[in-house]
A and B are shown apart, each in its own frame.
Chain A
């Protein structure tokens, strides 16, 4: 047993537990002349909640994460539904499943970049609008704002939402739908009263991950966001790379880890609560 268990436990201790412990150690100190000075102060954690811009940016990142989670669930649902209910053979189902997997695992950076080429001032949308004579100057409305960040993130996370909603829908027994039909229920009624409620745990499971990953994104704000759409990960990067304020970056990191763990537990609880026995 130890033979199998020891190497991975050692790995995760060294590369996850120890680094997190060090993060904690750094967060208790401060910097003087760009040098780390150890300490035992919780001042950095206080600063996360009192100093601008930290709390504001965390809340904004959370808002962007939430909008992304909700939008990608809405966009994903019909596709998940079709894969679970409207495919007539196993190979069509697998093919559709693959069509969803491919953009999910395909390059994150490329996906964000794709929207830059579409929405940008020299982008396809603007070039087309100008080419067709609708406008003389590039429309800046599409890019460099919160909308473009949310759109890009929704695009990135929709495949994941499809997968988690699909996993839930696939569990619904055919007999349940048939029984509802025999009792005279129409399509909308089956949707509202049976299928949608049963899909809720899948929506939550996918939504929390989407929220968490969108919350921590730093690619979209730089590529398609504006000067005011800086998110919390961008702040962390700046603290490390520009300000050399390690302790502050560590404190923010720990706050996010704590929030993340809380969120995972909350999800587990919510999923349990909304789960329908089938």
Chain B
């Protein structure tokens, strides 16, 4: 028997922690349906009024599309550059491999604003105008390590025997990739794509300094939040939570079976 300790006691402690994790999110969800113009008790009754407001708010709706646009770009970048990186890390020994791995992880370990400052100096030197694309490049760089670590973990788990067998049977590089590697990593790649999308959708630290005239959803919310808390923001926040929860749960199920997927956030 693995369990030890006073079971009711540890279970209630753990429940308290879960309550701590979920109560604030729940508060926002509940008050997004509250028929009252300020966030607080008493609960005046159920309304979808704030969601209707949200839908007719062109600034917020516009920024939702901007966020989707950026997130799709980030996912594409992550796959195009992250997948080869994971394959290279899995298959080959090359000089500077250790350093490469550290550099990949750097943007997620360092405060996002630092990545932002560095990229901003880069753009400034190149005279690049800040736009949704500069955000995309920044987020793509910062979030690529998710795809790399997820796919790399799966490749390590798969082992080399299948690839070797394919090569022995005369498959070329492309055929190995197409018929062995890609099918093997498909589910974890899919999971990483969903997680990247969802993080990009509400990323703010890297985005902050790289934003030009067009705002992503979190940046729009940020400017609204600095002024005052309105129930409309609650509705937007609830939508963000819902989108992330759905994408993350699907993503986790997709990459299930390869162990601690979440710890790769480091």
The judgment on whether A and B are partners is yes
Question: Do most interface residues of chain A lie in helix, strand or loop, or is the interface mixed?
Answer: helix
Contact A104/B117 with A5-B84, A109-B202, A118-B24 known, Cβ cut-off 8 Å: no
List residues 1-33 of chain B with CB under 8 A from any CB of chain A: 1-7, 10-11, 13-14, 16-18, 20-22, 24-25, 27-28, 31
- Does B88 lie within 8 Å of A107, measured CB to CB? no
Q: Mark A113-124, 1 if CB is under 8 A from B, else 0.
A: 111111010111
Q: Which residues of A contact B85 (CB under 8 A)?
A: 4-5, 7-8
A31 to B25 alpha-carbon distance, docked (Å):
44
Q: Which residues of B contact A1 (CB under 8 A)?
A: 88, 91-92, 94
Q: Does B185 contact A (CB under 8 A)?
A: no
A162 to B80 alpha-carbon distance, docked (Å):
32
- Does B14 lie within 8 Å of A233, measured CB to CB? no
Shortest Cβ distance from B233 into chain A, in angstroms?
7
Q: Which residues of A contact B109 (CB under 8 A)?
A: 209, 212, 260, 264
Q: Which residues of B contact A23 (CB under 8 A)?
A: 117-118, 121
New A-B contacts (13) at CB < 8 Å, excluding given A113-B237, A128-B41: A11-B81, A15-B140, A16-B106, A23-B121, A78-B10, A86-B3, A97-B262, A105-B265, A106-B25, A109-B225, A159-B21, A191-B4, A256-B111
- Does A216 lie within 8 Å of B113, measured CB to CB? yes
Q: Does B102 contact A (CB under 8 A)?
A: yes
- Does A158 lie within 8 Å of B42, measured CB to CB? no
Q: Does B76 contact A (CB under 8 A)?
A: no
Q: Which residues of A contact B91 (CB under 8 A)?
A: 1, 4
A216 to B22 alpha-carbon distance, docked (Å):
24
- Would you mind naming 12 contact pairs between A and B with Cβ atoms under 8 Å apart? A5-B84, A19-B122, A85-B5, A99-B18, A102-B248, A124-B39, A159-B21, A174-B2, A215-B111, A217-B111, A223-B225, A257-B110
A155 to B102 alpha-carbon distance, docked (Å):
27
- Does B92 lie within 8 Å of A78, measured CB to CB? no
Q: Mark A129-167, 1 if CB is under 8 A from B, else 0.
A: 001000000000000000000000001001110111011
Contact A117/B241 with A8-B84, A124-B40, A166-B260 known, Cβ cut-off 8 Å: no
Q: Which residues of B contact A57 (CB under 8 A)?
A: none
Total A-B contacts with CB atoms under 8 angstroms apart = 287
A162 to B13 alpha-carbon distance, docked (Å):
13
Partner of A79, one of B2, B18, B141, B260: B18
Contact A181/B42 with A8-B88, A115-B24 known, Cβ cut-off 8 Å: no
Q: Does B87 contact A (CB under 8 A)?
A: yes
A107 to B237 alpha-carbon distance, docked (Å):
8
Q: Which residues of A contact B103 (CB under 8 A)?
A: 12, 16-17
Q: Which residues of B contact A97 (CB under 8 A)?
A: 262
A233 to B205 alpha-carbon distance, docked (Å):
10
- Does A114 lie within 8 Å of B40, measured CB to CB? no
Count class of interface residues, chain A: 35 or more
- Does B265 lie within 8 Å of A187, measured CB to CB? no
Count class of interface residues, chain B: 35 or more
A113 to B220 alpha-carbon distance, docked (Å):
13
Contact A113/B202 with A246-B121, A249-B117, A256-B111 known, Cβ cut-off 8 Å: no
Partner of A236, one of B38, B113, B263: B113
A203 to B14 alpha-carbon distance, docked (Å):
17
- Does A78 lie within 8 Å of B13, measured CB to CB? yes
Partner of A216, one of B94, B111, B226, B234: B111
Q: Mark B96-123, 1 if CB is under 8 A from A, else 0.
A: 0000101110110111111001111110
- Does A213 lie within 8 Å of B111, measured CB to CB? yes
Q: Which residues of B contact A67 (CB under 8 A)?
A: none
Q: Does B161 contact A (CB under 8 A)?
A: no
Q: Does A110 contact B (CB under 8 A)?
A: yes
Contact A163/B42 with A12-B141, A257-B114 known, Cβ cut-off 8 Å: no
Partner of B11, one of A82, A160, A236: A82
Q: Does B149 contact A (CB under 8 A)?
A: no
Partner of B202, one of A108, A236, A240, A264: A108
Q: Does B167 contact A (CB under 8 A)?
A: no
Partner of A20, one of B80, B118, B262: B118
Contact A253/B229 with A5-B84, A8-B88, A75-B20 known, Cβ cut-off 8 Å: no
Partner of A113, one of B28, B104, B122, B266: B28
A120 to B3 alpha-carbon distance, docked (Å):
41
List residues 70-85 of chain A with CB under 8 A from any CB of chain B: 75-76, 78-79, 81-83, 85
- Does B113 lie within 8 Å of A218, measured CB to CB? yes
Partner of B204, one of A100, A109, A166: A109
Q: Does A18 contact B (CB under 8 A)?
A: yes
Q: Does A94 contact B (CB under 8 A)?
A: yes
Partner of A108, one of B31, B205, B225: B205
